[in-house]
Chain A
Amino acid sequence: MMSQPPIISLKSVTFGYPDVRSLALDGVSLEVAAGEFVAVAGANGSGKSTLARLFNGLLLPGAGNVLIDGKNTRDRENLNHIRETVAMVFQNPESQIVAATVGDDIAFGLENLGLPAEQIGLRVQEAGCRFGLAGLLDREPHWLSGGQKQRTVLAGAVAMEPRVLVLDEPASMLDPCSRKEFMALVRDLWQDGTTVVYLSHDMDEVARAPRMIALSEGKVSFDGDPHDFFSREGLMAETNLRPPLAVRLSRFLASAGSKPPALTLAELVKRACA
């Protein structure tokens, strides 16, 4: 496992938008191994969305290289393979649904791959069941709730059987219940072996990830265990990220100072009663 090359590898990547003086990304290097769950946290304007768009060649780096499964995104010949490997889900479900019904939309990517109709039908059914859309396949998107729309987008991405899912603030426009439901589906996909890169400012979710990367002003300011990040208050201030409630309350525990803070309420309660 360790000897395998990383599925995502960024080498001193720099990116700037025209007409903007400061760089959106400035010398970002990182690697993601197959099967990992990585949360990328950053306040609005930290460069998160730019980073997400580099992962499947929607944007190409100004300097440095992005390698997906060992293939450089600069090489146009690789793009098909790269986009089959890395699927994306963006923030606004409204603008990501291409087709006029749920079923047709889940099929959109599969049709692009040129799969035969029988196989498309099967995969649409399967994805529909997995994401709770089985009864809605003929529904038009404007009759769906926000949660259903975003599940449609996820189903369309997963139906293509990608190895990596990149999610850019996928749940920030959803209500809390739909958000929880959506993140549970994402965690299931990860358990089943999909590599997940989750970009968000929702610190409750970020704190639950096994590995987190913090971005601020286009630079990686932290890469490691969230427990480490949240025990360093200077880092939180520098990245302008607000710790979750459990972390904020941890300093009132008897164990404060001697142990890293609790990241979830369950952890906090366990510590408080120890």
Chain B
Amino acid sequence: MRIELREAGFAYLQGTPFASIALAGVSLCIEPGERIGITGPVGSGKSTLLELLAGLRQPGTGSVYFDGLPAARRRKKTVPGPGRIGIAFQSPESCLFEKTVIADVASGPRNLGINEAPARERAEAALKSMGLDPVSYGRRSPWSLSTGEQRRVALAGLLALEPEVLLLDEPSASLDPAARESLTGQLLKINGKGVTIVIAGHDMDEMARFARRLVIIDEGRLAADGPAAALLTDTGLMERHGLEAPATVRLSGMLAQATGRPVPPFLTEASAASFLRGLSGPSEPREPRHAS
């Protein structure tokens, strides 16, 4: 599905003394199969933007188009029904409610009117693509799992709907580094199967690993929109919008300053490693032995 915002704006509590503008004049087009990161300082309007893209809120000004069709204000039918666009808010595991993992994941397809058996099949496939074995996890209670596992179950619940677009608000927040990395890996695989994935978040290291395109929102306005590799290595741009460039990019800046010669910005750990290896001469690096 193609989602397009044209000059979209949104204000909370309009007409009250507490009114606050969350978004103003944002134009953005999300093409099928993209892998997009949305970032910006706290309170910049990222979460509101996700809700507009999901059709959960209507823009106060401007408009949203789903597959080229405008979503009419106050008419529910013009917003794509549940299932086509999946959205997960922060800590989605707090929405788990069924007695078993498999029942929870299957509840989405069941809601859409799919029969027990095919819904179960979809749930099992969804659990597998989140890296959870349906046989050993399916019958367990969601509350017997670790936070990282719970989060994957919650995301599997979205996947079981077989959505075309996944909108995720800080999917890896408060997970430990190992759980964080494996989640990014699974999302990359799912995107590889053609699902559009949009992640809102603050972790630029994660954005460097995940996003192909990056959108920066600052004070409700679109501040930048372009290839992630170009934006993430532009330290000036990052700083202007109160963001911290990925650690590898910061490292290249520090090396350039220390050596007094230009150092290409590293977007991946591997490129940083090969640069350092070059500095230290031809000697072989020590065998990596720590757990991966």
Contacts and interface: CB of A to CB of B under 8 A. Distances in A.
A272 B255 contact: yes
Interface string B154-177: 000000000000000000011111
A237 B290 contact: yes
A96 B258 CA distance: 44
Interface in A232-264: 233-234, 236-237, 240, 242-243, 245, 248-249, 251-257
A215 to B, nearest CB: 13
Interface in B177-197: 177-179, 181
Nearest to A247: B290
Interface in A135-162: 145-147
Interface string B243-287: 110011011001100110000000001001110110111010110
Given A44-B179, A177-B242, A237 B286 contact: no
A186 interface: no
Interface residues on B, range: 35 or more
B273 A265 contact: no
Contacts of B235: none
B173 A252 contact: no
Contact of B280 (A203, A236, A242, A253): A253
A253 B276 contact: yes
A198 to B, nearest CB: 15
A252 B46 CA distance: 38
Given A201-B176, A245-B269, A273-B258, A240 B280 contact: no
A49 to B, nearest CB: 12
B290 A272 contact: no
A178 interface: yes
Nearest to A147: B42
A28 B286 CA distance: 35
Interface string A114-126: 0000000000000
Given A145-B43, A176-B203, A272-B279, 9 more contacts: A175-B202, A178-B42, A180-B244, A237-B291, A240-B178, A243-B290, A251-B286, A252-B280, A269-B251
